[in-house]
Amino acid sequence: MASLQPVRGTHDILPDDFRLQKSVADTAAEISSRYGFKEMTPPVFEFTDVFSRTLGDTSDIVTKEMYTFDDRGGDSVTLRPEFTAGIARAFMSNGLQQQAPLKFFCRGPVFRHERPQKGRLRQFHQVDVEILGVPGPQADIEVIAVGAHILETLGVIERTVLQLNTLGDTASRTTYRDVLIGYLDAHRDKLSADSLNRLQKNPLRIFDSKDQGDQAVMADAPLLGEHLNDHSRDFYAEVCDGLDALGIAYAVNPRLVRGLDYYCHTAFEFVTDTLGAQGAVLAGGRYDGLMEQMGGRPTPGIGWAAGVERLAMMVGDAPPAIRPVVVIPLGAEAQLEALKIAQQLRHAGFTADMGYSGNMKKRLDRANKAGAGAVIILGEDELANDCVTVKNMETGEQSEVPRASLIDVLAPYR
């Protein structure tokens, strides 16, 4: 092999980065559990229809980014590009409708063949929350609140802005869609090929276009908020009142949309200017039509997803690694006893490692690099006296300790 490198858009998560990313995901899981979310996970790949039917045949994910292949049985399967569709499929496959409302938390890898950029990879990781079966705005308030709580706990919320919008109900959106298509039809000559393709099927997605010509057209486009019926306005007002009551600040962004028909009412993103042009770190919305589109019974839902790598970049520093106790045997006779001591420590709740090879200086240097809080030295004298020498790696002090008292003496290093 000419080059043993990871595939473009993937990377090895080495221990320091792993500890940081695990801390981010564990924080999200722990905070979500306080709100009653139960952790679950759908498979890492699904039948392709699960995603193509839900993400829309004009979306970038379906047309450009999905990792899709035929398996040996001839079935088309896709590595998951997001969690929501798999969770909705699991909700139906497992007959969970009778248990609704349900609150799920998920985490794990997702896959998109997009252009790698800062904090965006082709295999990356997400945390995700979903509430299924609650039609009212209380669920919208709660999923935003748990997202804000996670960002606050991670220490990054001050570097984000919560952008909020309403997509209205189906009736409002249908009225608006006709108005928007009428406006865009008059500007067809200025739209990109992608936007012309979306014009009839998915016109709201043109708001997301990065094409400068499209952006110029959309700058004067009519806005959905101007075409809401009373129910949609009342729903949105209740969401805003709930966020105000919880002290969660937000900025109304009337151009924040979700292009697929099953989205409705609340759309939101926590965005930052610290990660380059792609500023969303946590984004979601209400999708009351999703289950029905997948062939199930109508079931309201709302949720969000956040990229773990992008959150980790904002957090910056990994939490301190656990400091081990390192056992150093001197001489062949001490090897087995040292092994027994290390195992005793592990069963007593310590992180213990062995320092086998090299002279004493090299072993102590390695223990120091590993962040050891203490080193246990076991040589001929210690064996003869049924004791060990414990060296405090912070102070350099060392003392002989009877084997029977070792666990108690090492308690500060646990």
The answer to whether 146 and 165 are in contact (CB under 8 A) is no
Q: What is the pLDDT of residues 227-277, one digit of tens each?
A: 999 999 999 999 999 999 999 999 999 989 886 778 899 999 999 988 876
348 domain-assigned: yes
- The one-character DSSP state at 63 is I
Exposed (0-12), middle (13-18) or buried (19+): which is 193, by Cβ within 10 Å? exposed
Of the candidates 260, 292, 315, which is a domain's last residue? Answer: 315
In the chain, the number of structural domains is: 2
Average pLDDT over residues 355-373: 91
CATH number at residue 154: 3.30.930.10
Residue 43, both tokens = 């498979």
User: What pLDDT score was predicted for residue 262?
Assistant: 83
User: What pLDDT score was predicted for residue 54?
Assistant: 78
Of residues 258 and 111, more confidently modeled: 111
Q: Is the pLDDT of residue 318 over 60?
A: yes
Distance CA 343, CA 350 (A): 9
User: What pLDDT score was predicted for residue 116?
Assistant: 64
User: What pLDDT score was predicted for residue 334?
Assistant: 93
Amino acid at 328: I
Domain shared by 120 and 39, yes or no? yes
258 domain-assigned: yes
Distance CA 263, CA 171 (A): 12
Q: Is the pLDDT of residue 63 over 70?
A: no
Average pLDDT, the chain: 91
98 domain-assigned: yes
Local structure of 49: helix, strand or coil: helix
CATH number at residue 353: 3.40.50.800
Domain shared by 104 and 236, yes or no? yes
Domain shared by 249 and 362, yes or no? no
Note the pTM of the prediction, 2 decimals.
0.90
Q: How confident is the model at residue 62 (pLDDT cuts 50, 70, 90)?
A: low
User: What pLDDT score was predicted for residue 56?
Assistant: 64
Q: What is the pLDDT of residues 381-404, one digit of tens each?
A: 999 999 999 999 999 999 999 999
Distance CA 287, CA 258 (A): 10
Q: Is the pLDDT of residue 59 over 60?
A: no
H/E run at residue 89: helix 84-93
Q: What is the pLDDT of residues 85-103, one digit of tens each?
A: 999 999 999 999 999 999 9
Of residues 194 and 136, more confidently modeled: 136
CA distances from 358 to 189, 355, 391, 393 (A): 75, 9, 18, 18
Q: What is the pLDDT of residues 133-172, one digit of tens each?
A: 999 999 999 999 999 999 999 999 999 999 999 999 989 9
Find the domain containing 385 and state its range. 325-413
182 domain-assigned: no
User: What pLDDT score was predicted for residue 391?
Assistant: 95
User: What pLDDT score was predicted for residue 276?
Assistant: 72
Report residue 162: phi and psi, to 5°. Answer: -85, 115
* Residue 62, C-beta contacts closer than 8 angstroms, at least 6 positions apart: 51, 52, 55, 56
Domain shared by 21 and 111, yes or no? yes
The answer to whether 96 and 106 are in contact (CB under 8 A) is no
Domain shared by 98 and 45, yes or no? yes
Q: How confident is the model at residue 414 (pLDDT cuts 50, 70, 90)?
A: confident
Domain shared by 157 and 243, yes or no? yes
CA distances from 107 to 20, 30, 304 (A): 15, 12, 12
Amino acid at 209: S
Domain shared by 24 and 116, yes or no? yes
Residue with tokens 């490198």: 5
344 domain-assigned: yes
The dihedral over CA atoms of 125, 131, 132, 134, expressed in degrees to the nearest 10, equals -160
Average pLDDT over residues 103-125: 86
Domain shared by 146 and 60, yes or no? yes
Domain shared by 297 and 358, yes or no? no
Domain shared by 382 and 235, yes or no? no
